[in-house]
Each structure stands twice: as C-alpha cells, then as structure tokens.
Amino acid sequence: MAKAIVIGGGIAGLSAAVYLAKNKIIPHLIEASPKLGGRAYSFNYTAQNQIIDNGQHIMMGCYKYTLNFLKMIGAENKINKQKNLHVSFIAKGGKLYNLASSSKIYPINLLIGMLRYNAVPLKDRIAIINVIAKLIFWEREKLSNLTVDEWLKNEKQSDQSIKVFWEILTVGTLNTTTARASALTFANVLKEIFLNGNEASTIILPAAGLSRMYCDDSEKFIKCNGGRVSLSERVVSLNVEGEKIKKVVTDKSIYTEFDFVVSAVPHHAFLKLIDSKHALVDPGFEYSPILNVHIWLKENPFREKFYGLIDSKVHWLFNNNAYISLTTSSADDFITKNNDEIIKIICNELKEYFPVFNNNKIYDYMIIKEKRATFIPTIEIEKARQKIYSPFINLILAGDWTNTGLPSTIESGVKSGVNAAELAAKVFL
C-alpha cells in the first residue's frame, strides 16, 4: 500500500489524512502542537471547569465538503442544523430584525424572507434580491478586477443596504471589509449560499466543543484504518533531491519511508520547510485577526441562540447558556488593546444593543485574539492563488490558502484536504 506523510493537524490535514485512509493509502499525520485542530479547537478553561472553543465557528448548509467529512468520521450527530434559515439581527436600542425563510418551496421561501427583512427599505430589499438573482448568469471576468464595494455600487446598492446586509455578510464570510474583498470570491460564496437549495442557506453550529466535534473522531478514523498520528512533533525541513522530497526531518526523527507528502500547514509555515531556491508562487498573503470574548454571567438574559449586531464593533453574539461568546471579525482595532480596554468596549456595545444587559452580572471573562485568523481575499491574492502549484513531484499542497475558490473557512480547509487525497489516489495508486 502507498504511504503518505501529512504535515499539519488542522482541519485540512485531518481531512486529507481521513480521505487518504479511505482510499487505502496509509497516512502518518505529524502535528507540531500537543493538540489537533489548528486554528479551530477547544480546550478546558480551568477557572470555570468548562470546555470552550478558541472561537465560535459558524458553518452553513452549503458546506458540502465539511458535512461529508463529518459523516465519514461518524460525527454528523455533533452539530446543530437549522431546518430553515433564521438569523436575528439587532440594532442599537434593541430593535430586532429577523432574516428568516419558511418551510415553503425553495426559492420562494428565501424570496419572502428577504422581502420581510425590514432593516432596509423595501426598494433596497428588492435591489438585494436582484443582485442575488443575477448570480445565475454571472460572468467571472466581469468581477475578477472588482472589490465587493465596487461591485455593489455598480449594482446600485444603497449605503443602508451595504451597512446592514452586505457588510455583515462580507465580514462574516471573508473576515474583511467590502472595500478590500474580492468581488469574485464573494460571488462564489453567495452562489453557494443562495443558489443551492433550501438547506444551503441554513446555519450550522457545533453541538460540542470543536475538538470533540471533529478532532477526536478524525484521529480515531485514521488509526482504525492503519494510519498514525504524532503530536508534539515538529517538521523542521524537507530534504530534496532533484524534484522529489527524499526525507522529512522532524525534531524527533527522520522519515524516508513514504511515497509522497501532503503539506497542510499555513503558507508562512510551509515556506520555512523548503529552501528558498525552490519555486513556489508567493501570493504575498496579508492576514486579518478575529477577536473572541467569552463572558460568564450571573443571569443570562439572552433568548436566541445567536444574534448578528448591525453596525457594531461586535459582529456576533452566541448564547451558550452558561456563558456568551462574542465574535468580531476583521478585528484590527482590537488587537493592540489590552484586556481591560477590550472588555470595556464590549460592555458598552452590549448595553447599547441589549437594554437587558447589565455588566454587573459579569463574574468572569476570557479574551482570545487570533492575530492570523484568516488571509484577506483581495483581488490580487485571489488571482495569485490560482497560480499556486507544488514545487516537487511527490508533494501535494493543502490548506485553506490553496486554490479552492473559497475564502479562508473550515469548508475551504476540508475541500483542500479532499482535493489532496483525490489527487494522491490518481497519481500514487
């Protein structure tokens, strides 16, 4: 049987190793840290003796690669799926706006739901629907040189609709603003969400900690199918002869018994493994941070499972019953602030948007800054991603930064892992 070394135990590496094992290729996954999950993991917060995620991760019904992956490892029961799209958006003062579809026939249900989203005037809702409808006939070349903001302005979207609909969607899916994001990538996301049936637009949340949701079951699947998982072992270099990797050198061992290597680490980490003389397209990635704040309350006044905040410094609030989690994407303004400054801003925002909130009810909080949470999908970056290729004939690249056609999401990571395994099956079996 063919053997593979998979470098990196994030979602891309785990999905690659799982699908390699499924294809009767023996994977040895090597992860530098003592845990699996990469940038999406859970841990025990000892002060409250609770398992919490490093940050809240939203998935959607259009995440077909992720859902198939979870089914493959037997973890499909560890997520909560909406039957129909329902998002509660809240404005300053506590005014609630629901974006919801009914159980009626698709796409009529989405159309009705959008028409009822009265956070914007009726004429703006019709204009939003018009943009989504045009995606059926879109032409890639017309969007390839436009930012999301330029595209929306060309489509006569009002400032109000951009602020209370498009900006929320852009920041939530691409982790950057409409002014910086590639219109082409955003259009790909919109097509996946709105043009793939009723379930595609629904929200999916983990029903357990992220590590329990997919890390544990992935490791079990890999081992049950003859593979290995090595934690706390760092790959330090790839020794190359000609156009092939001959040795994978770690801080604990040297590996030579493999047919090929899958690198599933972030781009900046991969560059450290190879000599600079070896060709690799460098897109010049810029990264965008995400701020996650977990707050424990004496009394929890929140009723919905999650809320989107309109025109706020905080983008999402997730109700975990025992505590709430607040997420801010594209969080550059927060990264340089200390914890006291951050919690003060967060509390002020919560009081403005939720009159029932009282910061005297807080008895603990934890702040997590993910400084390199995602790359920014600018026009230039998206063009460069299409030219990324492996510099060695027995190396396959994986990771959300590769040419998946998707932004830096769980779905992009899983898709890259599946793509890597499928390519390996064609070449090395």
Residues 220 and 115 in one domain: no
Q: Which domain holds residue 113?
A: 83-201
Angle formed by the axes of helices 11-22 and 216-224, nearest 10°: 30
Residues in the chain: 429
Residues 29 and 139 in one domain: no
Domain count, the chain: 3
Domain boundary among 345, 375, 405: 375
Residues 216 and 194 in one domain: no
The answer to whether 293 and 346 have CB atoms below 8 angstroms apart is yes
Which residues of the chain are under the pLDDT cut of 70?
276-279, 281
Nearest CA among 10, 86, 96 for reference residue 374: 10
Q: How far apart are CA 271 and CA 278, in angstroms?
A: 10
Residues 323 and 353 in one domain: yes
pLDDT of residue 138: 80
CATH number for the domain including 268? 3.50.50.60
State pLDDT tens for residues 174-210: 999 999 999 999 999 999 999 999 899 999 999 988 8
CATH number for the domain including 356? 3.90.660.10
CATH number for the domain including 139? 1.10.405
Q: At 396, phi and psi to the nearest 5?
A: -115, 130
Tokens of 390: 């492996």
Residues 395 and 276 in one domain: yes
Residues 102 and 193 in one domain: yes
The answer to whether 54 and 42 have CB atoms below 8 angstroms apart is yes
3-state secondary structure 101-168: CCCCCCCHHHHHHHHCCCCCCHHHHHHHHHHHHHHHHCCHHHHCCCEHHHHHHHCCCCHHHHHHHHHH
Cα atoms in the Cβ-side hemisphere of radius 13 Å centred on 370? 23
pLDDT averaged over every residue in the chain: 94
